[in-house]
Each structure stands twice: as C-alpha cells, then as structure tokens.
Amino acid sequence: MLNSLHNSSKIFIVDQNSFYILNEVENTRIANAICRGILNISLMIVSVDDNYSSEKNYILCQQPSIHMGKYGAGNEAEILTTEIIFGKHKIKEIDFIPDKIIRLKEIISIRKIGFEILEQNLFRYMGLYSRFSEDDMLLHIVSKELDSCDPKNNVFSNGIHSWAKIMNVSVETAYKELKFDYDCTSVTILKLHAVWNKFMNLINSLNTLEEILQCVQINFETEIFVGYSNE
C-alpha cells in the first residue's frame, strides 16, 4: 500500500498566492533549494491519477475538512467545493495561466536544470573521494565506535576488534585506518555541503540557462578542484 501511494505521488512546486503548479521535481532536496530562491512558493507532495501529464497546466485544490478545521501551512490551496474527497489534495487542469506565472515557470525550469547538474557533480565527486559508502548510518556507526576507543590507554571497542580480526591487522592498525578514512570522509561531506549551499545561492540569483550552465559546469570544477571561485 505504501509503495502504491509513493508511486502515485508527485513532488510539486506550488505558487502559494495563486496555487498554480509551477513544476514537478524529482526529489525534495532540489525542490527545497528552488523554493529558497523565490518568495511564496513551496513544496507539496500530492497523489495524482493516471491522467496526470507534466506537459499540462494545473492548479492545486484543497478538499474541505470534514470537521472544517484549520488548514495547516502545508495544506494551503484553493478550496474545491465539488468532488469532495476528504483528506486529499486534488489537481485541476487549466487552459490559461497569466504571463507572470509563465515567466516564473520558465525561471524554475532553468534553475531546476542547474540543480540537477550540480547534484550529479557532487555525487560524482563524492564517489571519487569518499572512503565509505553513502550510507549515513554507516558513518554514524564508525564515529560511535571510534569515540568509544582510547588508543593512548590501549582501549578499543568491540567493533574495532572485529574489524581488525577480519582485516587480519592489529587492533591499533585497524583503529588508525578507520580513523583516517572517517576523517577524510567527514572533510569531504562538509566540503560538499558547503559547495551545495554556495552554489544554491548562486543558481538562485541567475535567470538564464547560459549563466547557470557556466556556474554549475566551469565554476563548479574550479571550486572543487582548485578551491576558490570569484562568483
């Protein structure tokens, strides 16, 4: 049931003044990044039916509450008075959208391309330089095991002992190797987080595809491999 719900859901960026659906985005990371750059737009996750098409224009509608209760910030939308389905959003196809919404959709589409390229570049860099898998839980476990050790007093956790046995090295060597890998990965993650935030602000200040491609391709390479950018 949960898989069915997930498969029928779309991540939309919605104008909270007019409730026009401005774009469909693949993940919440990119959606939130886009929303950071434009006032009065927000991320909404909405279930859709088989008739939905990303090529069409839609407006987001909110079904009235059965208790007529207060709407939360995440449920703001145009009230729909027909075809009531309690507890669900509906999207309504529309034929006309104003010019300012057309321009807003264009800007968001361009920035979306920039964030998709930026995300791909960051994952590529992460794959080249990270010494652990991208599983955050693994990194947390390694950190916990290292913090449980006191190498100066020859005290090591059970996890470090197990690692040493599997790798056929001394427990001291196992600790040093894991500590080195953990420190390298931590530095990489922090750098990527900083680069994401820096380029998020840059992308959100640009409105043409040429500028954004310059930013996420040439300027990104300079930032990552040289370590500075004047943008």
pLDDT at 214: 94
pLDDT at 70: 41
**DSSP string spanning the chain?**
-HHHHHHTEEEEEEETTT-BEEEEES-HHHHHHHHHTSTTEEEEEEE--TT--TTSEEEEEEPPPTT--PPPGGG--EEP-SS--TT-EEEEEES---HHHHHHHHHHHHHHHHHHHHHHHHHHHHHHH-SS-S-HHHHHHHHHHHHT-BGGGTB--HHHHHHHHHHTS-HHHHHHHHHHHHHHHHHHHHHHHHHHHHHHHHHTT--SHHHHHIIIIIIHHHHHHTS----
pTM: 0.79
pLDDT at 7: 58
pLDDT at 79: 45
Same domain, 144 and 220: yes
Same domain, 85 and 194: no
Same domain, 70 and 118: no
Same domain, 48 and 150: no
Asked whether residue 33 is assigned to any structural domain, the reply reads yes
pLDDT at 87: 41
Same domain, 123 and 218: yes
Which positions of the chain have pLDDT values less than 70? 1-7, 62-89, 133-136, 227-231
pLDDT at 227: 62
Domain count, the chain: 2
Q: Which domain holds residue 62?
A: 2-97
pLDDT at 202: 96
Same domain, 151 and 118: yes
Same domain, 112 and 201: yes
